[in-house]
Chain A
Amino acid sequence: MEHIGETMSDLILDIRNLHVSVEGKEIIKGINLTINSGEIHAIMGRNGSGKSTLAHVLMGHPAYEITKGEISFLGKPIEDYDVFERARAGMFLSFQYPPSIPGVQVGNFLKKSVNNVRDENVKAREFRKELNSAMEKLEMDRSFLSRYVNDGFSGGEKKRLEMLQMMLLKPSLALLDETDSGLDIDALRLVAKGINETAENIGVLLITHYQRLLDLVKPDFVHAMIDGKFVKSGGAELALELESKGYDWLEA
């Protein structure tokens, strides 16, 4: 099988008429989305409208069935690729609810993840340097490295660890599912800075409920999602409109 990611162009992600079901129930009901390199797309939408589902499907979660439509990533259809192959090809998902992995130390986990995902062989010294600098940017204490992955982490600490992973894994597409929720005001600023730095030449799909993140990370496109569909797309101003008006006015 040919590797994904071998043909590079500006086109990172292309979703055509996507329909997705879980346990026989349709959740995503026809979505089109194109993300080019350097673009930040924000999705806002009601609870249960299918935002996380979309992120999970893109990452290849086995519970979701694509009933119609296609997804291509870096110019290749990805339906046949397993989760870890998508990760190795440069897709990254920051989880809304990162699970804990007891007994697995953060430092070791990060090193292994980097070795899994990045093409070049990252030497131990180089890794340490990158790790130190990213942790400094996120103002994370080094004691995190010997803790177990997400085990006993506060909500905000989990989200910071997700960001740390994004910064180290250097993806070409970052799917950030409510990375802002649970963060205090200072942490939000640090995370936003991290996203902006990383986002420069990759595609970003940012799922959020709040304008406060979008004040700091300026989206090029905003999509309003209701019941498995994008009911309206626009520029950054759409987010402000949603923030003040809610979603009711978008329903037919």
Chain B
Amino acid sequence: MSEDASNAVGDYKYGFHDPENATIRFDKGLTEQVVRDISELKNEPEWMTEIRVKAYHHFMDRPMPNWGNCSMLDSIDFDNVTYFLRSSEQTEKNWDDVPDDIKNTFDRLGIPEAEQKWLGGVTAQYESEAVYHSIREDLEEQGVIFLDMDSGLKEYPELVKKYFCTVVPYADNKFSALNTAVWSGGSFIYVPKGVHVEMPVQAYFRINAKNMGQFVRTLIIADEGSSIHYVEGCTAPTYSTDSLHSAVVELIAMDGAKIRYSTVQNWSANVYNLVTKRGIAHKNAVVEWVDGNIGSKLTMKYPAVILKGEGSHAEIISVAYAGEGQHQDAGAKVHHLASNTTSNILSKSISKNGGRSSYRGLLKVNPKAHGCRSKVVCDALMLDEDSRSDTYPTMEVSNSSADLEHEASVSKISGDQLFYLMSRGFSEEEAMGLIVNGFFEPFTRELPMEYAVELNKLLELEMEGAIG
């Protein structure tokens, strides 16, 4: 680890970085030509190039959001971002063929091990593109498509064209426009009718280079009556200058299908994480976002579900941990378009050492949607006086038959709890770690075991040195 990196790293365990051995690296800064070059390099169909260029212009014209953390947003230097970086000539199917330095990185992150133990498939993205990709044979035989997005476009252009930008239009917001203009990598998944993918499939995103911009694009289509659980993890080295991760995720759950999308984002504290995630649920379909935000400098992310079909359901469980210098601006959006649709939103946040967490929620019920139910619970835990937590819930309910519940709480760790645990032999730090893990438990228990264990360890680590 270089000196400046290790200074900034603190106890962030993924803060190491590897030498940058790029095979193709674009100059910093964004122009229409850069956008066209990316598309050409990837040999994309014309329509994709066009949509990229349109999105680019929208991005340039669109002002920065005037809400959230404006001063942090304004400090993003778009001219100092590398928009495309290729570090391996191809996506390997065999772990041994992945270039050594990249392989070492993912080895340290435990990727191949996880694949053997509990995954149905895995994709590992390094900078702009996938470097490794595999799927279990039995899934492939059942017609499940699990590819990195670039390969998806190459191999299934019609399917991609049919759904791309239908859930998140490029003009949705400034960052969805940016992503659409320069997207690279991400996952493309199609699950055929009635197929249940029992083991989760995982994507791991790693930024290694300085000032890197990673623009992941993911599209998941679960056909009628099918189900899939997608898990993603993210880390980056700690640099003194900032990196940008701006992803767009689109989920389509057809009639009776179920998609669960779980994220544990543990970016280093110099990454801007500006992500648009949205799913459409058709008749009796279920879309679930399980979203954990532990790292990054600024996260702005509000996983959304459009309940388009009757009887569909949205579940959004999110946690945010904001430590020193971090702002987690997270939340959830649900749009009840159809009758008898239901949604559950649980948001938990912890702020420590001056960190800031915000819950921003939007709940909409259309005039014609009868008999909808929604429950929103927001709990904030403040570990000290310097930290901050805000809640901005918005409800636009145009149908009086809707049954809505909203609960919000802000709490501190009580002296009684600490005393009790310490009287059972836990040191003060251990006691804090236990309480904090307990606070996140409704989220953690939804994760695959390996992620849950890792997350608990991470939080315990964060509690070290918590006592002044």
- CB-contact partner of B423 in A63, A87, A109, A148, under 8 A: A87
Which of chain B's residues 188-233 have a Cβ closer than 8 Å to chain A? none
Does chain B have a CB within 8 A of A235? Answer: no
Total A-B contacts with CB atoms under 8 angstroms apart: 77
Does chain A have a CB within 8 A of B417? Answer: yes
A175 to chain B, nearest CB (A): 9
Q: Decide yes or no: A104 and B424 within 8 Å by CB, A61-B419, A99-B414, A99-B417 being known contacts.
A: no
The majority secondary structure among interface residues of chain B is helix
Residues of B within 8 A of A165 (CB): 424
Q: Decide yes or no: A103 and B424 within 8 Å by CB, A61-B419, A63-B415, A83-B419 being known contacts.
A: no
Q: Decide yes or no: A104 and B441 within 8 Å by CB, A84-B427, A112-B426 being known contacts.
A: yes
A117 touches B437 (CB 8 A): no
Does chain A have a CB within 8 A of B100? Answer: no
Give the number of chain B interface residues (Cβ < 8 Å): 24
Does chain B have a CB within 8 A of A98? Answer: yes
**A97 CA to B437 CA in the complex, in Å?**
23
Does chain A have a CB within 8 A of B118? Answer: no
Does chain A have a CB within 8 A of B416? Answer: yes
B50 to chain A, nearest CB (A): 50
Does chain B have a CB within 8 A of A101? Answer: yes
B428 touches A84 (CB 8 A): yes
Does chain A have a CB within 8 A of B421? Answer: yes
**A63 CA to B425 CA in the complex, in Å?**
18
B440 touches A83 (CB 8 A): no
Does chain A have a CB within 8 A of B68? Answer: no
Does chain B have a CB within 8 A of A202? Answer: no
Residues of B within 8 A of A93 (CB): 423
Q: Decide yes or no: A104 and B435 within 8 Å by CB, A84-B425, A117-B425 being known contacts.
A: yes
A88 touches B425 (CB 8 A): yes
Does chain B have a CB within 8 A of A201? Answer: no
Q: Decide yes or no: A83 and B422 within 8 Å by CB, A99-B414, A101-B417 being known contacts.
A: yes
Does chain A have a CB within 8 A of B439? Answer: yes
Residues of A within 8 A of B421 (CB): 101
A104 touches B419 (CB 8 A): no
A32 to chain B, nearest CB (A): 24
Which of chain B's residues 402-426 have a Cβ closer than 8 Å to chain A? 414-417, 419-426
Does chain A have a CB within 8 A of B442? Answer: yes
Which of B415, B423, B434 has the most C-beta atoms of chain A within 10 angstroms of its own C-beta?
B423
A84 touches B440 (CB 8 A): no
- CB-contact partner of A99 in B420, B428, B430, B440, under 8 A: B420
A99 touches B416 (CB 8 A): yes
Which of chain A's residues 113-128 have a Cβ closer than 8 Å to chain B? 113, 116-117
A101 touches B435 (CB 8 A): yes
Does chain A have a CB within 8 A of B438? Answer: yes
Q: Decide yes or no: A103 and B426 within 8 Å by CB, A83-B419, A98-B420 being known contacts.
A: no
> Known pairs A87-B422, A88-B425, A104-B441. 6 more at Cβ < 8 A?
A63-B415, A87-B424, A103-B437, A103-B438, A104-B437, A116-B425
Q: Identify the 7 closest CB pairs spanning chains A and B, nearest first.
A: A103-B438, A116-B425, A103-B441, A83-B422, A104-B438, A113-B424, A117-B425
